[in-house]
């Protein structure tokens, strides 16, 4: 096995693990929603799992490069200039998917779960637009929705009928939230933090393989030595 071919094979196993991990993480909130509500789209944890960053971005878009990289070990399909160029091009799709997964995860972590941002806990309050991906502000990554006692700010509770659920403590209000809210916050944080790491690692693997593929295409690869039995 050549040097470039060995790196490609190693990238293939890494991408396979990340691919499966991304799909699993994306499926967790969907399965939890199905178990809790008995149907999809009813009181979802957030809008962003329905953008499928792990299933599409870190999953389906990584399959071509993963298949090509794994085939490099058994079929020596990357042991030539054309194979290395094709590997580099397929990893371009991986990079696009990884960037998509990373951007959606960053936006999800900045916004928090749907229950913390909307009184109407359904996908009818979600805006599925790619323009929203660019609307990310660094100051929104304080993760206050996760670290503070309540994910719903006291100022947002304007209904006087809810005053009985608030307790005053030296002029400060604390909102008692149910275990469902705690569960939504924990699942949302864990899932999209994991998808963020998966997206970053896939991006690194994709870019490195693109560089190796272009290098192998331009400079050529060494031929296998014949074995003497």
Q: 176 near 61, Cβ under 8 Å?
A: no
What is the sign, positive or negative, of the torsion defined by CA atoms of 51, 55, 58, 63? negative
Radius of gyration of the chain (CA): 23
Q: 99 near 199, Cβ under 8 Å?
A: yes
For residue 45, CA distances in Å to 28, 72, 189 come to: 10, 40, 11
As a whole-number percent, the residues of the chain with pLDDT over 90 amount to: 31
Q: 94 near 211, Cβ under 8 Å?
A: no
Question: Which residue from 29, 67, 21, 22 is spatially nearest to 48, judged by alpha carbons?
Answer: 29
For residue 42, CA distances in Å to 39, 48, 76, 121 come to: 6, 14, 49, 8
How high does pLDDT run on average in the chain?
A: 76
User: Does residue 137 or residue 88 have the better pLDDT?
Assistant: 88
- Reduced DSSP (H G I as helix, E B as strand, rest coil) percent helix, strand, coil of the chain, to 5: 70, 5, 25
Question: What backbone phi and psi angles, to 5 degrees, belong to 41?
Answer: 65, 10
Q: 48 near 56, Cβ under 8 Å?
A: no
| pLDDT tens digits for range 126-143 | 666 767 676 666 666 677
Neighbour tally for 32: CB within 10 Å: 17
CA distance 178 to 123: 21
Please state the rounded mean pLDDT for residues 209-229.
Answer: 66
User: Does residue 221 or residue 52 have the better pLDDT?
Assistant: 52
User: Does residue 75 or residue 113 have the better pLDDT?
Assistant: 113
Is the pLDDT score of 144 beyond 90?
no
End-to-end CA distance of the chain: 18
Which uninterrupted H or E stretch holds 219? Answer: helix 179-219
């Amino acid at each position: 096995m050549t040097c470039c071919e060995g790196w490609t094979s190693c990238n293939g196993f890494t991408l396979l693990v990340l691919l499966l991990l991304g799909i699993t993480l994306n499926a967790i909130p969907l399965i939890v929603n199905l178990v809790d509500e008995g149907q999809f789209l009813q009181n979802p944890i957030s809008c962003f799992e329905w953008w499928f960053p792990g299933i599409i971005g870190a999953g389906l878009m990584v399959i071509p490069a993963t298949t090509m990289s794994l085939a490099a070990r058994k079929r020596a399909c990357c042991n030539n200039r054309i194979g290395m160029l094709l590997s580099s091009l397929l990893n371009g799709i991986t990079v696009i998917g990884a960037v998509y997964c990373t951007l959606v995860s960053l936006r999800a972590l900045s916004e928090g779960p749907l229950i913390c941002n909307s009184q109407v806990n359904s996908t009818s309050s979600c805006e599925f637009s790619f323009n929203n991906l660019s609307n990310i502000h660094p100051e929104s990554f304080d993760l206050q929705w996760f670290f503070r006692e309540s994910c719903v700010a006291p100022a947002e509770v304007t209904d006087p009928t809810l005053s009985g659920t608030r307790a005053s403590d030296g002029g400060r209000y604390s909102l008692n939230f149910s275990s469902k809210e705690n569960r939504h916050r924990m699942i949302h944080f864990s899932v999209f933090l994991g998808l963020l790491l998966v997206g970053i690692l896939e991006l690194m693997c994709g870019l490195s393989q693109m560089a190796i593929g272009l290098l192998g295409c331009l400079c050529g690869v060494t031929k296998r030595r014949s074995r003497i039995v």
